[in-house]
């Protein structure tokens, strides 16, 4: 199966060939033909399965076909007059996109825009813009003045522009709810309902989610009409190309020593370290920098331009280790990320799947390591139940936990694993976060954003 056999427009096929995107993924193979037919879709597939192309390629095909049809019916003079009139409307009226993509995070929105620009590289006069929290309003007004065909937005900022009359959906043809489960987890249900109520009933709706159960499934059925359901793999399916392991830790200093040890692994290309809070992301990043690691922090309190610069440095290889909250669990697609560390376990088991999905991209091998304390054992069990697998425990010589544990199955790397169990455990020691400095390391003195930002920047996790 190739993209050509799916019936896509020649201009899109040319753009895909230019980026060496040749073979569609399973979700694309099933979704694209149905979307081209104009059907509503309910799609459940795991992260990294190619969902962006699954909804964006058929939309681009639709718009490219429409443009050719409209152009062929007009004389050259009519085409010039139409273009001039369209420009005038864009200057004085609200933007009226043909397609809206709602996403939970800014990073995912920017990733979608970047991919769309690649897919539409051979389509003339085609505009895709992102409207996000944290972006300056004057910049957003400039983008909206272009009257883009495709608008990618986070719910909160989109509602602001709708209420001020800067965006209308009278001409909307396609609505996409991407990572719908995550948007509901983040409390966007009211905003989503407001947006949907402002769109035409004749729209085509495509909803993508890790799961279609519970409240997500209820919402999916209410916003779609005679939708086709596509289930590629369960959100709890194994990541076959990602090796997962657990390290049990006694206390904070033990956790920090283990992290520093793994960050010196010769097989490490780039790494993501996930923390539970924004403050911890800054603290861990600072301590790693003092120890000589090339690192940066990423979280929702940072201004959008600072987040963009940090991600650009990560993509360019100028930052080797990114310490982040779950704001980075979705929307980051960097193949050179070889290791993911759960410094703190996520609040929801679903987020564990998305976190470790940042490695092992494009068929590469990845390693996901969770640093688990005794108090985290219940959360780890929930993750194992959700993923329907037992994650092996690893013990490294010189970093063994001092607490008493019950043995479990051995891991692929190191000695047999162990599980917390005894009530007679050594008392945990608390201490400052510190890391040993790697050999031949130099201190990274690159400036970082302040840790304490005002509430105006607290719009994302």
Residue that terminates a domain, selected from 201, 231, 261: 231
Please state, in angstroms and rounded to a whole number, the distance separating the CA atoms of residues 191 and 203. Answer: 18
Contact 84, 143 (CB under 8 A): no
CB neighbour list of residue 393: distance below 8 Å, 6 or more residues apart? 245, 246, 247, 248, 408, 409, 411, 416, 417, 418, 419
One domain, residues 160 and 296: no
**Do 258 and 219 fall within a single domain?**
no
Q: Final residue of a domain: which of 208, 231, 254? A: 231
Q: Could you tell me if 296 and 310 are in contact, meaning their C-beta atoms sit under 8 angstroms apart?
A: yes
Question: What residues contact 373, with CB distance under 8 A and at least 6 apart?
Answer: 248, 249, 250, 251, 255, 428
CA-to-CA distance for 288 and 275, rounded, in angstroms? Answer: 14
Question: What 3-state DSSP class applies to 167?
Answer: strand
Residue 352 to residue 239: CA distance in whole angstroms? 11
Domain-embedded: residue 460: no
**Is 93 found in the same domain as 43?**
yes
The residue with greater pLDDT, 92 or 144, is 144
Residues 209 and 336 in one domain: no
CA distances from 252 to 17, 95, 120, 432 (A): 49, 51, 49, 8
Mean pLDDT computed over 133-150: 86
Closest by alpha carbon to 256, among 341, 355, 339? 341
- What does the mean pLDDT of the chain come to? 81
Q: For 239-292, what is each residue's pLDDT tens digit?
A: 778 899 999 999 999 999 999 999 999 889 999 999 999 999 999 999 999 999
DSSP state, residue 361: G
Residue 454 exposed, middle or buried by CB count within 10 Å (0-12, 13-18, 19+):
exposed
On whether the CB atoms of residues 428 and 409 are closer than 8 A, the answer is no
Q: Range with the lowest mean pLDDT among 20-24, 68-72, 168-172, 203-207?
A: 68-72
- Contacts of 180-183 with CB under 8 Å at 24 or more apart are 180/207, 180/208, 180/209, 180/216, 180/219, 180/220, 181/209, 181/210, 181/211, 181/216, 181/350, 182/104, 182/105, 182/210, 182/330, 182/350, 182/354, 183/102, 183/103, 183/104, 183/155
Distance, in Å, from the CA atom of 310 to the CA atom of 408, rounded to the nearest integer, reads 40
Q: How far does Cα 357 stand from its chain's mean position? A: 9
- Checking if the pLDDT of 198 tops 60, the result is yes
> Are 178 and 265 contained in the same domain?
no
Q: What is the pTM of this model?
A: 0.63
Instruction: Tell me which of 206, 231, 256 is where a domain ends.
Output: 231
pLDDT attached to residue 418: 41
201/330 same-domain check: no
Q: Within this chain, do residues 211 and 304 fall inside the same structural domain, yes or no? A: no
Report the pLDDT value the prediction gives residue 388, as an integer from 0 to 100.
85
Do the bridges between strand 405-410 and strand 174-177 make them parallel or antiparallel, or are there none, so unpaired?
unpaired
Note the pLDDT of residue 395: 92
CB count, 10 Å around CB of 3? 20
47 vs 60: CA distance, rounded Å: 22
Q: Do 93 and 155 lie in a common domain?
A: yes
Give me the CATH number covering residue 178. 3.40.50.300
Please tell me the distance from the alpha carbon of residue 272 to that of residue 284, in angstroms, as a whole number: 12
CA distances from 387 to 146, 359, 419, 420, 450 (A): 44, 17, 18, 20, 37
Please tell me which residue, 427 or 24, carries the higher pLDDT value: 24
Q: Are 148 and 95 in contact (CB under 8 A)?
A: yes
337 in the same domain as 211: no
Residue 419 within a domain: yes
Q: Is the pLDDT of residue 209 over 50?
A: yes
pLDDT in tens, 99-130: 999 998 888 898 899 999 999 999 888 899 99
pLDDT at 412: 47
Q: Is residue 449 part of a domain?
A: yes
Give me the domain span that covers residue 106. Answer: 4-231
Residues 431-444 pLDDT 10s: 444 555 555 454 44
Whether the predicted pLDDT of 428 surpasses 70: no
Question: Which of 135, 142, 137, 52 lies closest to 99, judged by CA?
Answer: 52
Cα dihedral value 278, 284, 285, 290, nearest 10: 150
Whether residues 174 and 249 fall in one domain:
no
Q: In angstroms, rounded to a whole number, what is the distance separating the alpha carbons of residues 216 and 128?
A: 27
Q: How many domains would you assign to the chain?
A: 2
Residue with tokens 């309190």: 301
pLDDT at 48: 66
Q: How confident is the model at residue 82 (pLDDT cuts 50, 70, 90)?
A: low
State the Cα–Cα distance between residues 453 and 341, nearest whole angstrom: 26
Residues 6+ apart with CB under 8 A from 125: none
On whether both 102 and 147 belong to a single domain, the answer is yes
In a domain, 161, yes or no: yes
204-209: strand order across its sheet: 128-131, 150-153, 99-102, 174-177, 204-209, 41-44, 228-231
Q: Is the pLDDT of residue 164 over 80?
A: yes
Residue 234 has pLDDT above 70, yes or no: no
Is residue 250 a part of any domain in this protein? yes
Domain membership of residue 458 (yes or no) is no
The label of the residue with tokens 């709708």 reads: 162
Residue with tokens 């040749």: 22
Residue 362 has pLDDT above 70, yes or no: no
The rounded radius of gyration (Å) of the Cα atoms in the chain is: 24
- 130 and 262 share a domain? no
Listed ranges 36-50, 68-82, 400-414; the one with the highest mean pLDDT: 36-50
For position 32, what pLDDT does the model report? 95
Query: How much helix, strand and coil, in percent to the nearest 5, is found in the chain?
Result: 40, 15, 45
Distances (CA, A) of 411 to 27, 156, 323: 32, 44, 26
Measure the CA–CA gap between 154 and 231, rounded to whole angstroms: 25
pLDDT band at 427 (very low <50, low <70, confident <90, very high): very low
């Amino acid at each position: 199966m190739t993209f050509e056999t799916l019936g896509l427009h020649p201009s899109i096929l040319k753009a895909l060939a230019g980026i060496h995107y040749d073979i569609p993924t399973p979700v694309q193979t099933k979704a694209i033909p149905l979307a081209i037919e104009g059907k509503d879709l309910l799609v459940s597939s795991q992260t990294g399965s190619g969902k962006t192309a699954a909804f964006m390629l058929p939309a681009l095909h639709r718009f490219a076909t429409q443009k050719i049809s409209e152009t062929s019916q007009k004389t050259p003079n009519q085409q010039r007059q139409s273009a001039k009139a369209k420009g005038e409307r864009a200057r004085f009226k609200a933007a009226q996109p043909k397609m809206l993509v709602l996403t939970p995070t800014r990073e995912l929105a920017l990733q979608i825009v970047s991919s769309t620009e690649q897919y539409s590289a051979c389509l003339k006069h085609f505009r895709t813009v992102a409207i996000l929290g944290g972006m300056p309003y004057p910049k957003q007004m400039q983008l909206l003045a272009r009257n883009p065909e495709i608008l990618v937005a986070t719910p909160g900022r989109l509602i602001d522009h709708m209420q001020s009359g800067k965006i209308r959906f009278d001409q909307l043809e396609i609505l996409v709810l991407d990572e719908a489960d995550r948007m509901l987890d983040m409390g966007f249900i009211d905003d989503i309902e407001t947006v949907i109520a402002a769109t035409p009933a004749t729209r085509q709706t495509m909803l993508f989610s890790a799961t279609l159960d519970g409240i997500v499934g209820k919402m999916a059925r209410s916003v779609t009409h005679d939708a086709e359901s596509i289930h590629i793999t369960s959100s709890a399916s194994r990541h076959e190309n990602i090796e997962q392991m657990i390290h049990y830790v006694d206390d904070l200093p033990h956790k920090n020593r283990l992290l520093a040890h793994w960050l010196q692994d010769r097989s490490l290309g780039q790494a993501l370290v996930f923390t539970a809070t924004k403050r911890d992301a800054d603290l861990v990043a600072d301590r790693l920098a003092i120890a000589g690691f090339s690192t940066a922090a990423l979280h929702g309190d940072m201004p959008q331009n600072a987040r963009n610069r940090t991600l650009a440095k990560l993509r360019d290889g100028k930052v080797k280790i990114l310490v982040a909250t779950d704001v980075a669990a979705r929307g980051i697609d960097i193949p050179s990320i070889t290791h993911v560390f759960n410094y703190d376990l996520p609040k929801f088991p679903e987020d564990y799947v998305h976190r470790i999905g940042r490695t092992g991209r494009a068929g590469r091998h990845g390693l996901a390591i969770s640093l688990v304390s005794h108090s985290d054992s219940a959360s780890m069990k929930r993750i194992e139940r959700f993923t329907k697998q037992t994650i092996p425990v690893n013990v490294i010589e010189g970093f063994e936990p001092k607490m008493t544990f019950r043995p479990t199955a051995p891991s692929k790397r190191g000695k047999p694993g162990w599980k917390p169990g005894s009530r007679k455990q050594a008392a945990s020691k608390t201490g400052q976060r510190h890391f040993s400095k790697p050999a031949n390391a130099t201190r990274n003195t690159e400036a970082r954003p302040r840790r304490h930002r005002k509430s105006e920047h607290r719009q994302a996790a």
